[in-house]
Every structure is written in C-alpha cells, then in structure tokens.
Amino acid sequence: MIESDKVTFRIMDIYRSMPKEVKFRDIFITLLLLKRLSDVSEEKERINSETNNANKELNQSVSQGIIVPESVRWPKLLKIKGDLGQNLMKAFDAIEQNNDCLKGVLTSLAGQVDDIGRDDKIKNSIFRIIQELSLIPMGNHNYKSEKQFPEIFDFVILKIMRSSYHGEFSTDVNIAKLLASILDPEDNMTVHDPFCGIGKVLVECAKYAEEKDGQVSLYGQEITETAWRYCIYSLIVNNYTTSVVKMGDTIRDPAFIGNEGLLQFDRVVSVPPFGKQKWGHEIANMDKYNRFRYGIPPKSTGDMAYLQHTIACLKDDGKAVTVSPQGILFRSGPEGEIRKHLILNNFIEAVILLPSNFFAHTAIQTIIIVINMNKPVERHDSILFISAQNLGEEIKRKVVLDDADIAQIVGAYRDYKGIDKFCRIVDLEEIKNNDYSLNFSLYIDIFPEIEIVDVKKTLNQIQELHVKKEQLMNKILDIMDTLEETE
C-alpha cells in the first residue's frame, strides 16, 4: 500500500514545478481530478471483467458515481498529439455530457486551456505534468481504504487555496468537524452551506451522518469561481456526486429558490466572510425574500445579514450553526436591535467563544452561534454560553482543537448544564437587564484566575532565602580556607 504522505509530497512537488501564473492552478487540480476518476474507472471495469459482470455499454464505466468515457481516460491523454488545449477541451466536454454534476464546470476553464496553446513552454510544462501524474497510482486498491485518497485530494486543495487566498475560502478539518458535530445532521436531512468555500464543512457533515448510518443531501453556494469549482471536485472525489453546488452571491442572488421564496433546509451551516463591507446593503430594503425582517444591518458590516439569511433558510424545526466575529454579540445600533429580536424570538440556543487565532486567515476573536427554530421548552428564554477559548493547542501560531476538545464542547452543548469557568445557562431576564448584550464577560468568567499573593508571607520567604544564601556562602568560604591550608 502507498503511504499517504509520500503521495501528497509527490503531488505538491509536481504542482510547485508548474508555471507560476495563478490560472494554471485550476488546470493542475482538474488534471488531478481526471487522473483519479480515470484510475478508479479502469479499476472498476477490471473488477467487473474478472467477475463476468462487465458493463460494455458505450465503453463507459461508473467511477465514484461519475461516468468516464473510455475515449477520454488517462491513457488516452498520455497519447495526445497535436493541439493539447483542443484535446483537453474535448475531454472536458465529453465528461460534462455524461455527468450533470459537472455541467459547465470543466468547460468554464476554456480561457485557461486556450492559453496553453499560445505558449510552447507552457504546453510542454502541461505535457510533462500529465506524464508525471501518470506515475502516481490513484485507484482505490493502491490505498488502505477508499477514504485515503480523498483525504490526500482535499489536503492538496487546501494547501493550494491557502497559498493563493490566505485561507479565505478554506476551513480546517477540525473546525468543520466541530460544526458538523454541533449541527448533528441525521438520515434523510437536507444540509445547506450558503457560503461553502471549497466545501470542507459540507463534506464533514456528510461524513458525520454516515458514521451514524445515515445519508444527507448537500447544497452549497459560493461566490468565487475557483472555490466553487474546487468544492464540486472535492464532493465528487469524496463520492457525494448528487450534491448541488451553485455559484453566485448569496445575499444579492440566492441560488436556492422555491415557489414561495427561499428553499428551506433541515440544517444550515456557514462560515461567512468576516467584516465584509460590500455585502449587499443596497438591496436590503427591497429584499423580495423578506430575510431582513428583524432589521437592516449597517452598511459597514454584513455579519447580521449573513445570520438573518441563515435563519431564513431554515425549516420551522431546523437548526443552524454559524461562525461570526465576537462583535456581533455586543455591537449596538441596528445590530443591537436585530440581536434583541432574535433573542426574544428564542432563536439563539447557544453561543460558543472560540480560542484566539482559531482561523489561519484572521486574528479576529470568533464565536459560534447555534440557532434552533424549535428549542425544547425547557431551554426557552435562556441561552447557553460556552467558553472554549482556553481549549486547544497552538501550532504554528494557530490554535488547533483535538477530538477531546471537540467532544468537550459538543458534550456541554448537548447536556445544557452549567460548569464552573466553562459554561453557564443565562436566563432572558438577566440578558434583558444587560440591554440584550451577549458579551461573554457579562455572563461567564473568561479570564484566567489571578493568584492572590500573601505579601507578608512572601517577604518572610525572601528573608529566609537571604539567610540560607549567607549560610551557603560561609560554608563555601570555609571549604576554600581548608583547601588553602592543605596546599
């Protein structure tokens, strides 16, 4: 079996040898996807042939739920002669024609592919990359489990996105696991991420449901074309080929619309952009989806716009978890009024304070807000505050939560009980007396204990140390005198 670390290193080494222009990054990831799908197709066809169950129709086979025509599998790419760009586009078009989930995804790379044909140096570089990727086996039988290569693929995407976008569209796996565990998606539920980035949280929600022998339907929207494309690739490689991911501005042009407005989901999870100013304030007053019924957020920040959109996407018994800057808990003005309405409507079930330096791309203190449209009666008129800021381990200037930390946070949320210095249930009356501010420092002691020093006792200890010092010095002098007398 191939070691994951060695495969990852080889793939990243090939990537670093590519032309430095950003546009060729998408070509590389797409070639990596095609190599994986082609290898799994060949593998499955071979297994079918050996068991006399080969599907010969149209010389096609299903790979990770994807139909890959034999004419465009990797062995054919290796034999390309002539116009590389034209042949790649033919392969992209053939795959799209057979797979609805990839319609418009591969062929949207036409501009980048055209650039290949204009520069012999770049064309030769792509030919070389095709040759080098061919030396890396990517079929399932080459790895310990079917999950191993998808983990490699997702890691490569994460590394490339971070090097280009400083982590803006990527969420670490430990954060995604925490959000999925709190959200607790169950069998046959619909899960939506309106700001899905490269899809890590959606993938973890699906994996979480699978661990409980369930399956969920995934829906995402992403505004940036590169992140949208990578999200679809990741979902396909992880075998979630029925997922629906659309590109567009979630606030200005939400993609999931039904006959009566926004489609509503069982679960919504999101890590929206932090502190974004141009969020869509100009359309808020005339929003036809009635998302801002609790107030229009200020033009300078869209945090409350994203939260209200999340709530508008929930079914009457739905639940959401969303990550926001801590300021959303206590800022006054329009945001204060919106927060008041959300509290009085019993939408907010819990607020979780995350450690500083939790996200790679920002030092802003962040929190998780848990929205429950159907809070249990015993949780009405109260909010659970969980302080997780002292959990985790700092690795390379970023705090990372391990499985035990995640279990501690999720356990506290589910138990809904107070734990000294960690979590506390606060009733509505106390929140009302604080003018509906949810500032953590008002409700739970988030500061480390300060040791009380007994000054008199400390001075006595210092004096005792001085006496011991004098005694030791006298012994040293006595020893030195003895040594001199013996010489």
For residue 54, pLDDT beyond 70: no
Residue 238 and residue 223 in one domain: yes
**Type and span of the H or E element at 128:** helix 120-133
- On the question of pLDDT at 4 being above 90, the answer is no
Q: Is 472 found in the same domain as 425?
A: no
> Which secondary structure element, helix H or strand E, spans residue 77, and what is its range?
helix 74-78
Tell me the pLDDT band of 479, cut-offs 50, 70 and 90: confident
Residue with the larger pLDDT of the pair 52 and 234: 234
pLDDT at 37 exceeding the cut of 90: yes
Structure tokens at 293: 């019924």
Banded model confidence at residue 472, pLDDT cuts 50, 70, 90: confident
Alpha carbons 253 and 264: distance in angstroms, whole number: 16
Assess whether 222 and 242 both reside in one domain.
yes
Mean pLDDT of the chain: 88
Q: How far apart (Å, rounded) are the C-alpha atoms in residues 183 and 407? A: 13
Mean pLDDT, residues 412-440? 95
Q: Tell me, yes or no, whether 447 lies in a domain.
A: no
For the whole prediction, is pTM greater than 0.75?
Answer: yes
Last residue of a domain, one of 114, 132, 162: 162
Q: Which of 162, 187, 217 is the last residue of a domain?
A: 162
Q: Burial of 126 by CB count in 10 Å (0-12 exposed, 13-18 middle, 19+ buried)?
A: buried
- Higher per-residue confidence, 451 vs 55: 451
CB count, 10 Å around CB of 58? 11
Could you tell me if 244 and 266 lie in one domain? yes
Q: Is the pLDDT of residue 59 over 50?
A: no
- Residue 449 binned pLDDT confidence (cut-offs 50, 70, 90): low
pLDDT, residue 14, reads 92
Residue % of the chain over a pLDDT of 70:
91
CA distance 324 to 344: 20
Whether residue 278 is contained in a domain is answered as yes
In angstroms, the Cα distances linking 443 to 19, 368, 383, 428, 439 are: 54, 16, 10, 12, 7
- CA nearest neighbour of 218 among 176, 159, 174: 176
| 19: helix, strand or coil | coil
> For residue 396, what pLDDT is reported?
77
User: What is the C-alpha to C-alpha distance for residues 196 and 219, in angstroms, rounded to an integer?
Assistant: 9
449 within domain boundaries: no
Q: For residue 29, is pLDDT > 60?
A: yes
Domain CATH number, residue 384:
3.40.50.150
Site of tokens 């619909």: 190
- CATH assignment of the domain containing 155: 1.20.1260
Alpha-carbon torsion, ordered 311, 315, 319, 321, to 10 deg: -40
pLDDT value for 445: 80
Considering the domain architecture, whether residues 347 and 464 belong to the same structural domain is answered as no
Please write the tens of the pLDDT for every residue from 100-136.
999 999 999 998 888 877 778 888 888 899 999 999 9
Residue range(s) defining the domain that contains residue 183: 166-442
Same domain, 225 and 115: no
Higher pLDDT, 113 or 275: 113
Say whether pLDDT at 208 is over 60: yes
pLDDT category of residue 486 using cuts at 50, 70 and 90: low
**pLDDT at residue number 458:** 73
* Total domains, the chain: 3
Same domain for 349 and 336: yes
The pLDDT assigned to 39 comes to 92
The pLDDT assigned to 446 comes to: 66
Query: Do 139 and 212 lie in a common domain?
Result: no
Establish if 67 belongs to a structural domain.
yes
Residue 182 has what pLDDT? 97
Strand partners, 219: 192, 244
158 and 170 inside one domain: no
Q: Is residue 363 part of a domain?
A: yes
pLDDT at 58: 41
Q: Are residues 387 and 463 both part of a single domain?
A: no
Q: Name the DSSP letter for residue 373.
A: T
d(CA 366, CA 328): 9
The secondary structure element, H or E, covering residue 245 is strand 244-247
Between 17-26, 186-195, 294-303, the lowest mean confidence (pLDDT) is in 17-26
Q: Is residue 431 part of a domain?
A: yes
Counting beta carbons within 10 angstroms of the beta carbon of residue 149, is it exposed (0 to 12), middle (13 to 18) or buried (19 or more)?
Answer: buried
User: 447-471: b or e for each residue (b if 16 or more CB lie within 10 Å)?
Assistant: eeeeeeeeeeeeeeeeeeeeeeeee
| pLDDT, tens digit (0-9, with 9 covering 90-100), for 140-175 | 888 988 889 999 999 999 888 877 665 555 677 889
Residues 177 and 157 in one domain: no
In a domain, 410, yes or no: yes
Strand partners, 419: 423
Residues 103, 192: one domain?
no
Backbone phi, psi, residue 186, to 5°: -115, 170
Q: Which helix H or strand E contains 71, and what residues bound it?
A: none
Over residues 293-341, the pLDDT tens digits come to 999 999 999 999 999 999 999 999 999 999 999 999 999 999 999 999 9
Q: Is the pLDDT of residue 359 over 90?
A: no
DSSP 66: E
Question: Is residue 61 predicted with pLDDT exceeding 50?
Answer: no
What are the residue ranges of helices labelled H in 134-275? 148-165, 173-183, 200-211, 225-237
Does some domain include residue 76?
Answer: yes
Residue type, 306: Y
Q: How far apart are CA 5 and CA 151, in angstroms?
A: 11
Range 353-369 average pLDDT: 84
**What are the tens digits of pLDDT across the range 77-95?**
888 777 888 889 999 999 9
Closest C-alpha to 356, from 310, 414, 319, 400: 400
Helix 148-165, helix 200-211: angle, nearest 10: 160
28, 66 contact by CB (below 8 A): no
The residue among 144, 162, 180 that closes a domain is 162
CA distances to 35, 131, 388, 415 from 407, rounded to whole Å, are 37, 45, 12, 12
